Amino acid sequence: MSEQTGGTLGQSSPNWAALDAPAVELAGNPLAGRDLLRLMDLTPQQFHMVLSTALYQKQAWRSDPAAGQASAPYQRQAVGIILEKPSLRTRVSFELAAARLGAHPVVMADSNSAFSRGESLKDTTMVLERFVDAIVIRSFAQSRVEEIAQWASVPVVNALTDDFHPCQGLADFLTAYEHKGNLSQLKLAYVGDGNNMAHTYLEGAALCGMQAHIATPPAYQPQPLYVQQCQELAAATGARLTVDSDVEAALSEADVLITDTWASMGAEAEHDERAAVFKDYRLTAESFKLARPGAIFLHCLPAHRGEEVTDEVMDAPCSKIYDEAENRLHAQKTLLSLLMAPASVTR
């Protein structure tokens, strides 16, 4: 489903200081039948809606999981989960998210992926959409996921590409929202590789009016086109985005500190070269002192302990990495519930 609006400029920012009524109780769900290929497919209001609803549903589930399971709204539906890259958190969280909604998860992974037999993306997608009610795809090129969305008449969700990781982004901003409150009053610092996570953090910060500072080595900065797009949105939401190589400036007075592996999937052969370049971008207990009191640490995992971050930070009380991993489930459950809803039905 390739035609959709998102990242609309010129709209007032939502009230991040308050937990709104859950979107599942609001009429006119604007995400019904939509795709999510990157966070900027959402408007600021829709981004807020997903996160506030996820937090509400997480709290409701924890207070009464039996009632949450009994009310699963998508019985007799199915979600196709296609994994062309290795996965732990993505696979488990999406399988459970679909199951808790009452839908049947159909997992196609590794050599048995839906696209493993050389059939065209169009043919496979147009067959698959006859069987399932949403397609979740973890792949390589962003253009591949975009083409699948072009042919599919059911919602398509990007579960990771080389350019974006919107579902991880939802979980990360949900974790910051849960622990730190009003996102528009926070500073996010990301240090390391200017990869898909850097792009996603810029998009999320722009959507919620947050201050974000991305610090990477000069040769590994985020793609200029994506930075420009985020800066344009930030002008409308009041976000302040900085991209440079200054680690100390990024960490200074930050509320949320984030890093990622220095050699992501597909760049493993560059590990030794990258380790030499990124050595000054390691997060340590000493560098954490630059942040604000009460700052939290996030990492999308898996982490290479001792490289991009020390054990002392990973295992400290400030580390919310396991909450963050759990929030993949809650954010994605909410996302699927909204995208899979009939446009004419209020849930």
Active site (catalytic) residues: 138, 165, 168, 260, 300, 328
Cα dihedral value 245, 247, 248, 254, nearest 10: 120
CA proximity to 298, closest of 287, 281, 283: 283
How far apart CA 117 and CA 95 sit, in angstroms, is 24
Among 99, 102, 98, which Cα is nearest to 74's? 102
For residue 68, CA distances in Å to 24, 25, 61, 151, 169 come to 13, 15, 6, 34, 25
Of all helices (H) and strands (E), which one includes residue 240?
strand 240-244
307 vs 80, 98, 166, 277, 289, CA distance in Å?
Answer: 35, 35, 25, 12, 19
Pairing of β 240-244 and β 296-299 = unpaired
The span from the CA of 52 to the CA of 47, in Å, is 9
Q: Which of 13, 6, 8 is nearest to 237 (CA)?
A: 13
